[in-house]
Amino acid sequence: MIKTFRRLSYIPGRWIKTPIENAAERMALARIVYSVFFLFYLSYTDLRETGYMFGWLLPRPFGTLPRPNELLLPWVEPLLVLLLVLLLFGLWTRVVTGLVWLVGSYWVLVLQAAFGMDKLLVIMGVYVPLLACFSHWGALYSVDARYAKAIPERGVRHWVYFWPARSMLILLAFLYFSAGFYKLIYPGGWLQNPSFLSDFLQIKPIQSVISNGTPLNPLVTFIAQYEWLTRIGQYGILAFELTFPVVLVSGAAYLLYMRLLPFFHAANAFLFGIPFLPIMPAYILLFDWKNFLDATPIEIDRWRTFPLTWWQSVGIAGVVALGWNTTPIPRFLFGGFGLFESNRSFWYLMLPIILVWYGYNLWQWWRKRTTEGGTAGAVRAAPQAE
Amino acid sequence: MDFDEQRQLRLAYAITGVLLVGMIFLPIYYIWPFMHWNLYSSIGSASTDTYTTYRVQVGTSPPTNMYSYDFFTSDDYSSTQERMRLILDLIAETPNDQIGRPRRIVFNVLRSRGFAAEAITLQQCTITQNRNRFGLASSSESCEDFKVLADGDRQ
């Protein structure tokens, strides 16, 4: 029995231990982007609004938790902000990540119990910090690295830095598959009702406009008229979700699905008004930030150890946290300099950036291909010329 | 840097396993991330749901079922279209305190059909659905009919 278990555990073990380029750099940069993204999200929420809350409906396992003290509640967000700024700087990273997990979990609970907000918040507030607090995402680009006896070598490919991203991929594969599976089996739902998506296209955007002011796309009623269009959506979404676990076994599928994901979410945001923002930290763990920043003029390698001292980091984090609810400045800075009406406008900025990034990669690939082709041609041509 | 690889691997298995098994087996469907829509949330536990469906027929087209996802937000009159206002008034007359969303639903149906219909039939159905923990459902429904033939006419 134990032998069989060991043999079976060899396969996921081998998968999780596959070396990956720039493992330490990728995860450390993911830590910074995660902190900034969480602060961006927080800058558009305000727990002080719970003074007007009409309900306190807790998820089942937490059913006995008392309603939060309204004097204490306004301090939850500044505390989370303090921790996230410390995480951004990479100070006492493991402990701070653990605290982000604890305070983040409470923040998620309050938002869900009081406002019934997005269930996916658990990805951002619970899953990512829980996975990361046992990892080494503070090893680089951090204040911790400044005080460490040794930091990872450049381009280190060791899996121990990257396993939280791989674990997240397993969870994502399960979530996508189960979302597709429920669509498949739910009676009277996705497949059985031919007008399901057409109806949903007409109802959900309106719901989003009313509940959170997401802009209404005039195309939805146009699309909803054409059954063949909604049928493509109906089967396309189902196929995408059900086949998502293929990313775990095929590198090519992983590349393809990761490139399709932004369009999947952007379409959800533009057509249904569902931006799926709290799931973004899952992709933040998976994205190759080192590769991305290397393509920009930012010389990120100069910051492998942050120049801040621990007391400077604590001071800055404290100032930001204290100013969070007392001045508009931190929310303005982390909320995108007033560029967004709400965090739900995220995709209006992100999709063009992603398209430019894809275009750049395509251009690089084409340039490399033609250069290599030209060089190879020249090498081949040389003996003939002789 | 040196790592105890076996320890790291066991840790990775443990955390991933706890999250994965927890997501599947613990009774936390309420915070199960993909349960975004109320539509699917009844699966996994025995429940009784009551919800409202609006069946709209425009002209001779087959009926369209419009599912009502939530009804707690009030809405306003935003259109000056006479035919639509009739429908909106009609719905507003129903003894239902959650009248916001249906107005918008009808608005969208009409807009998607280009306001070309001669007759619009609207049926409001209240469906009570009992579901066992395996997701098997039995339901009963009661419907009220409304029909708008022309401006001001109602059957």
Hey, what long-range contacts does A100-104 have (CB within 8 A, 24 or more apart)?
Answer: A100/A129, A100/A133, A101/A126, A101/A129, A101/A130, A101/A133, A103/A76, A103/A79, A104/A38, A104/A80, A104/A129
Interface of B with A in 38-57 (CB under 8 A): 39-40, 43
Interface of A with B in 236-295 (CB under 8 A): 274, 279
Chain B partners within 8 Å of A12 (Cβ): 13
Q: Has residue A51 got a pLDDT over 70?
A: no
Q: Point out the least confidently predicted range of A17-26, A294-303, B90-99.
A: B90-99
Q: What is residue B31's three-state secondary structure?
A: helix
**Measured between CB atoms, which of A59, A186, A221 is closest to B28?**
A59
Chain A partners within 8 Å of B69 (Cβ): 203-204, 207
Mean pLDDT for the stretch of residues A273-280:
84
Q: What is the ipTM of this complex?
A: 0.77
Check residue A61 and give its pLDDT: 61
Interface of A with B in 315-344 (CB under 8 A): none
pLDDT tens-digit readout, B103-126: 445 555 555 445 444 556 667 677
Residues above pLDDT 90, as percent of chain A: 32
Check residue A245 and give its pLDDT: 93
Q: Has residue A289 got a pLDDT over 50?
A: yes
Check residue B11 and give its pLDDT: 87
Check residue B24 and give its pLDDT: 65
The number of CA neighbours under 13 Å toward the Cβ of B4 is 3
Nearest CA of chain B to the CA of A133: how many Å?
Answer: 10
Q: Which of A75, A95, A81 is nearest to A38 (CA)?
A: A81
d(CA A74, CA A143): 29
For an interface test with B, which of A167, A175, A280, A304 has the most B Cβ atoms less than 10 Å from its Cβ?
A: A167
Interface of A with B in 61-80 (CB under 8 A): 61
d(CA A4, CA A9): 8
Interface of B with A in 59-118 (CB under 8 A): 64-70, 73, 75, 100-101, 104-105, 108-109, 111-113
Q: What is residue B78's three-state secondary structure?
A: coil
For an interface test with A, which of B31, B41, B58, B69 has the most A Cβ atoms less than 10 Å from its Cβ?
A: B31
Average pLDDT score over chain B:
55
- Please indicate whether, in this complex, the C-beta atoms of A171 and B16 are within 8 angstroms of each other: yes
- Please indicate whether, in this complex, the C-beta atoms of A119 and B34 are within 8 angstroms of each other: yes
Q: Has residue A212 got a pLDDT over 50?
A: yes
HEC assignment per residue over chain A: CHHHHHHHHHHHHHHHCCCCCCHHHHHHHHHHHHHHHHHHHHCCCCHHHHHHCCCCCCCHHHCCCCCCCCCCHHHHHHHHHHHHHHHHHCCCHHHHHHHHHHHHHHHHHHHHHHHCCCCCHHHHHHHHHHHHCCCCCCCCCEHHHHHCCCCCCCCCCCHHHCHHHHHHHHHHHHHHHHHHHHHHHCCCCCCCCCCHHHHHHHHHHHHHHHHHCCCCCCHHHHHHHCHHHHHHHHHHHHHHHHCHHHHHCCHHHHHHHHHHHHHHHHHHHHHHCCCCHHHHHHHHHHCCHHHHHHCCCCCHHHHCECCCCHHHHHHHHHHHHHHHCCCCHHHHHHCCCCCCCCHHHHHHHHHHHHHHHHHHHHHHHHHHHHHHHHHHHHHHHHHHHC
For A215, other C-beta atoms within 10 Å of its C-beta total 16
- Please indicate whether, in this complex, the C-beta atoms of B70 and A12 are within 8 angstroms of each other: no
Average pLDDT score over chain A:
83
Of all residues in chain B, the one with the smallest CA distance to A12 is: B13
CA B25, B29, B34, B35 dihedral sign is: positive
d(CA A380, CA A42): 59
Q: Is any Cβ of chain A less than 8 angstroms from the Cβ of B3? A: yes
Check residue A83 and give its pLDDT: 97
Main-chain phi, psi angles of B84, to 5 degrees: -65, -40
